Amino acid sequence: MEIKVLKNVMIKNSAIGNDNRERLLKHGVFAINITSSPGAGKTTLLENSLAELNKVHPCAVIEGDLYTSRDAIRLKDKCVPLVQINTEGGCHLDARMVSSALDNLDLEKIKLLIIENVGNLVCPSSFDLGENLRVLVYSITEGADKPMKYANMFKSAHVVLINKVDLAIACNVDIDSLEAEVKEVNQSCKVFRIAANRPESLIEWNEWLLDYVKKFRKGRD
Amino acid sequence: MEIKVLKNVMIKNSAIGNDNRERLLKHGVFAINITSSPGAGKTTLLENSLAELNKVHPCAVIEGDLYTSRDAIRLKDKCVPLVQINTEGGCHLDARMVSSALDNLDLEKIKLLIIENVGNLVCPSSFDLGENLRVLVYSITEGADKPMKYANMFKSAHVVLINKVDLAIACNVDIDSLEAEVKEVNQSCKVFRIAANRPESLIEWNEWLLDYVKKFRKGRD
């Protein structure tokens, strides 16, 4: 009974996720879903890259959070449309929530939609939101042993941003070992090393993303 | 339909949680449920406190993990009985899993049962495992703004161990503000500041816990 209901929930979510993707595609919007543990640096990443991204492809942000609007407030001076979703204790965003958020955005005016998921290294992996690219921000403060332990999240990511690399020595984490394990779990994912609070460390990732979005848009035209 | 099933799951879990607590009580076993985000330091805490605790109250450990036995392996030279639960991708331990684990422990030989939950700052808050004390390990690397954002987890904790305090300056986190917010969310919880990799920082917490367990056992006798 429980399993059957769970299966139904997942099937429904996938269908709505696909609808979201088609709807976004019609408007030429590329969507990324950013996942991570709590405090791994998703919002700091946006604080320090949104202006650069927005110069090339007009952006909008959907902020997922259990209760507060704190992350949205941190981004409010970035001059991009922003919709807050509060899950009221829920452990992940789902496709239906994102669909409602899309109703509140003028999709004709944006080219890159960035969805910041709830901080959780387990549940969000199972929920397709309609994104084109899933980006996992992983903080090295969580240790080098997590890719195998939280394998679903690492497997489902197209890109892994290894964050807070400046704390590697203090946290006694060997970044090469960590990256090797990421690759062991998910051979095809792209990996960047960043310190999200240092904008200069984000240049390579920003350029890769902008180029990826450009190719997507070319493929569409 | 989905809500009804979820409600049933929770009611069933609470009932089994209560059964676990009664079963443990009969054998004079005090149980703690340790929760946290991934990589916040639960296993390091056990690595550096288990020997001290075990000297006073014979311990056993139930290790919760999605897939691997890595944490259990880290603790295997601590000479305490150890049961591994793999949730196979599940985002939390539940009371039924713990009940099965108890079948594999000689409860007459232990006095303090330590359950290390899956690393997740959302879902485990809703699942009573039958513990007497819930302990949240919070790493300051996750920032000072999380108690409000992940309120259920902080509200449900009897004790919050603020960990990795040696990284506070590097992470630009004001520990006093963090602690004030913990207290705002949960006035009655007990807070300790620790660096789990430094055993000397654990003395106060260990003593508090040992004393708490002693009082519990006195109340019972």
Q: Considering only CB atoms, which chain B residues are within 8 Å of A145?
A: 70
Q: Considering only CB atoms, which chain A residues are within 8 Å of B5?
A: 1-2, 5
Of B9, B37, B68, which has the smallest distance from its Cβ to A38's Cβ?
A: B37
Chain B interface includes A139 (CB < 8 A): yes
Q: Could you say which residues of chain B have pLDDT below 50?
A: 1
CA distance B120 to B91: 7
Tens of pLDDT along chain A (221 residues) come to 456 666 788 889 999 999 999 999 999 999 999 999 999 999 999 999 999 999 999 999 999 999 999 999 999 999 899 999 999 999 999 999 999 999 999 999 999 999 999 999 999 999 999 999 999 999 999 999 999 999 999 999 999 999 999 999 999 999 999 999 999 999 999 999 999 999 999 999 999 999 999 999 887 75
CB A136 within 8 A of CB A157: yes
Q: Which of B147, B141, B142 is CA-nearest to residue B181?
A: B147
- For residue A159, the enclosing domain spans 2-220
- Tell me the nearest-neighbour CA distance from B156 into chain A, angstroms: 13
Q: CA angle at residue B149 from B145 to B152, to 5 degrees?
A: 130
* DSSP symbol at A191: E
Strands A59-65 and B159-163, bridge-based pairing:
unpaired
Two tokens, residue A133: 């690219």
Chain B interface includes A1 (CB < 8 A): yes
What one-letter code names the amino acid at A114? I
CA distance A194 to B59: 41
pLDDT of residue A3: 60
| Mutation for testing the B interface, residue in A69, A75, A149, A164 having most B CBs under 10 Å | A149
CB B64 within 8 A of CB B38: no
Which three-class secondary structure state does DSSP give residue A39? Answer: coil
User: pLDDT digits over A198-210, tens only?
Assistant: 999 999 999 999 9
In chain A, the number of structural domains is: 1
**C-beta atoms of A68 and B148 within 8 A:** yes
pLDDT of residue A8: 80
Chain A interface includes B118 (CB < 8 A): yes
Reading phi first (left if > 0) and then psi (alpha if -120 to 50, else beta), residue B86 is in beta
pLDDT of residue A4: 67
A189: domain CATH number? 3.40.50.300
Which three-class secondary structure state does DSSP give residue A218? Answer: helix
